[in-house]
Amino acid sequence: MQHAAPPMRNRLVSSRGWWLAAVVLLGLAALAEWTQATPASQPAAVLPAGNDAIQHFLQAQRIASSAATPAALRSADAAQWRGVKLPDLWPEDEAHAKAGAGWYRVVFTARAPLQDHGLHIRVLAPGALYAVNGRVLSVTPDTLSRSGSAEAVFVPIPQDALREGDNELLLRLSVLPDRSAYVGSFRLGPVADIRADYQTFMFFKETLRQMIVVTALLLAIVLGSIWWARRGEVLYLLFALVCVGWAHQTHNYYATQPPWPEPAWGISIAIGDYLTESLMCLFVLRYIGRLRRWHVLTLGAYVALSAALTLVNGLSDARWWWAWYSQPWEFTPFVISALYMLLLVQHAWRTRSAIDGLMAAATVTMIWASWWDLSPLTPDLQVGESVSLLPYAYGVVVAVFSARLVRRFIDSIGEVEALNRDLEGRIAERTQEIRVSLEALAVAERERHAMEERARLMSEMHDGIGTHLMVSMRSLESGRLDPLQAAEVLRMCLEELRLTIDSMDDHGNDLAALLGMVRYRLGDRLRWAGLDLRWEVGDTPPLPALGHDGALHAMRIVQECINNILKHSQASCIRVCTAVDNVRQAVVLRVIDDGRGFAPSAIDPLHGHGLANMRRRASKLGGTLSVTSRPGETVIELLLPLPAAAAR
């Protein structure tokens, strides 16, 4: 039991940490709820002009009046004008709410020489009218921004609308029932400077956000393609969906008009927020290796419940998004994002990895930007005077997380390449081992062939030449053999020795080449004997049976035939013929003479071994030997089977 105490204590400490985190998150959600329920204070921080020529107006006069033109407004009682601080959110009382419209007025000074001026202001209202010295300069469309934030407006003021000294600038805003109108601080100055100020603001408000959206969608395509190619990489699919969700959310920050009518667009934005944060949580859990089935089921149920509540809220009130953060449920995505932020921070602390630290820092930045956008420290941001930081924080998270996934993909490729290099090295080593083994086998095979050749030669010399020489030597010693007979015996032994040596040459298993060697070796004997040799040898397919042993057997058969003809047949002509017999699927070798013939059955087996030896050699070649003889013609025919390839 004592050994179980430390693990139990660690689990209790870990549980207290998670309970503390949950309490902190709930406190942050409650503070955010209180922040949104509490009206923002009216004074705004003075923004730097950025150019001495630009006049920045943080105060104006306001009047509630339904007058449609500056001329109609002149009849208004001057006492009804009241001073306000800019930016201003109104109406603030019942009297102004019933008016339906209101006017703002500032007085600025223009000095000679007069030049074109410009006005840069941020307005949130269905429509606005701008006039200088009673001259209407611009009327904006009677529409309301979907994004819920002020739209930046640039109004050129031509020099002929100005006069030296004091000039009056009027701005008329409409007020919808149960709504508020917003007007930001006025920026007046030379038209080039005001246009540059306006373009800079629009770059950060729209262009940069659009670039983030396009980048997120392109990354979603790339990551989705990786998942499509490797279906097991679910991590890439999850973050591709997160990128699409964040692009959808960021689009809502600068889109002035929804792509489809309300409340459908607002409902899709709200549901997309729940879904995106849930997907991001699943991605983080999968990335750190802690994703479980109950996580998927829980977040899926959360998204389904959130979608149901959003549909009920959206369909019951078409203007539900104005009270977006006044409902506690709308803060649950913030709580989920804070939870996966803590998971990433914990993972980065455990791994001590630089890239994991960057991912955790990017997530912390996103949470901080979200909180800053809702914080009471930034009242101007809440009413639209400044630019929201959350879309840019989204961009940072997308960049860092995508870089991590790309690096993960590159590392995977590197691991595969390392494995391939290792495999190639092993294959090369194995190939070298096989090459050495094959060389050793080749050497052993050559040695075996050499030994077999030596054994064959020794056998042939012992059984053939050796026997003849031994018999001849004894005959000479006993006086039964005269010198001429001894010379004949020696000549035969020399022919056999030469044929044995010829059989060792590389003849490619060609029967014609072997017969040519026999002709070369025995041609002189035939000429001395007065025999006419007719050579009718043609090309035949290579025969595998005509190896070194087989070649010698074939040459010995032909030699034996010629020796018998010279000794016994009294012939005058010998024909040597070859042909291919397609019927019997064999190569046919015939040796034909025109001698006196003989009866093969009448040969004494005790004294005539020639035919028996020839048949024995033919059998070793896998063939057959046949003899037909009559007076005037004797035919000895050797059939050698064709190989299977040649037979087809």
Q: Where are the domains of the chain?
A: 56-201, 207-416, 508-647
Mean per-residue pLDDT of the chain: 77
CATH number of 508-647: 3.30.565.10
pLDDT (tens digit per residue) in 403-416: 888 888 888 888 88
Q: Considering only CA atoms, which of 297, 294, 290, 252 is closest in space to residue 273? A: 252
Whether the pLDDT of residue 517 is over 90: the answer is: no
Cβ atoms < 10 Å from Cβ of 157: 25
Least confident of 340-349, 456-465, 483-492, 600-609: 600-609
Tens-digit pLDDT profile for residues 274-283: 999 999 999 9
**Residue 265 scores a pLDDT above 80:** no
Tens digit of pLDDT for each residue in 135-157?
A: 999 888 766 555 556 678 899 99
Q: Is the predicted pLDDT of residue 17 greater than 50, yes or no? A: no
Separation of alpha carbons 618 and 638, rounded Å: 7
Position 207 scores a pLDDT of 86
- Flag whether pLDDT at 4 surpasses 80: no
What would the two tokens of residue 177 be? 């029932």
Residue 9 has pLDDT above 90, yes or no: no
Distances (CA, A) of 346 to 262, 337, 405, 511: 41, 14, 19, 86
- What are 28-64's pLDDT values in tens digits? 444 444 443 333 333 333 333 333 478 889 899 988 8
Average pLDDT score over residue span 288-308? 91
pLDDT at 7: 46
Task: Report the pLDDT averaged over residues 240-258.
Answer: 81
**Confidence band for 221, pLDDT divided at 50, 70 and 90:** very high
Is residue 581 scored above 70 in pLDDT?
yes
Query: In this structure, which amino acid lies at residue 202?
Result: M
pLDDT for residue 483 = 67
Ramachandran angles phi, psi of 107, nearest 5°: -115, 130
In this structure, of 104-108, 579-583, 642-646, the range with the lowest mean pLDDT score is 642-646
- As a whole number, mean pLDDT of residues 91-120 equals 77
**Cα Rg of the chain (Å, integer):** 55
Residue 620 above 80 pLDDT?
yes
- pTM as predicted: 0.58
Q: Sign of the CA dihedral 501, 505, 508, 512? A: negative
How sure is the predictor about 286, in pLDDT bands with cuts at 50, 70 and 90?
very high
**Res. 121: pLDDT tops 80:** yes
Q: Given a cut of 80, is residue 541 above it in pLDDT?
A: yes
Mean pLDDT is highest, among 123-127, 326-330, 408-412, for 408-412
What pLDDT does 646 receive?
Answer: 58
Specify whether the CB–CB gap between 167 and 109 falls below 8 A: yes
Dump strand ranges (E) for 92-243.
101-110, 117-124, 128-132, 135-139, 151-157, 165-174, 181-183, 186-190
Beta strands 59-64 and 82-85 are antiparallel
pLDDT at 282: 94
Mean pLDDT of 460-472: 60
pLDDT for res 238:
92
- 242 against 517, higher pLDDT: 242
Assigned superfamily of 56-201: Galactose-binding domain-like (2.60.120.260)
In this predicted structure, the answer to whether residue 163 has a pLDDT above a threshold of 70 is: yes
pLDDT for the residue numbered 93: 56
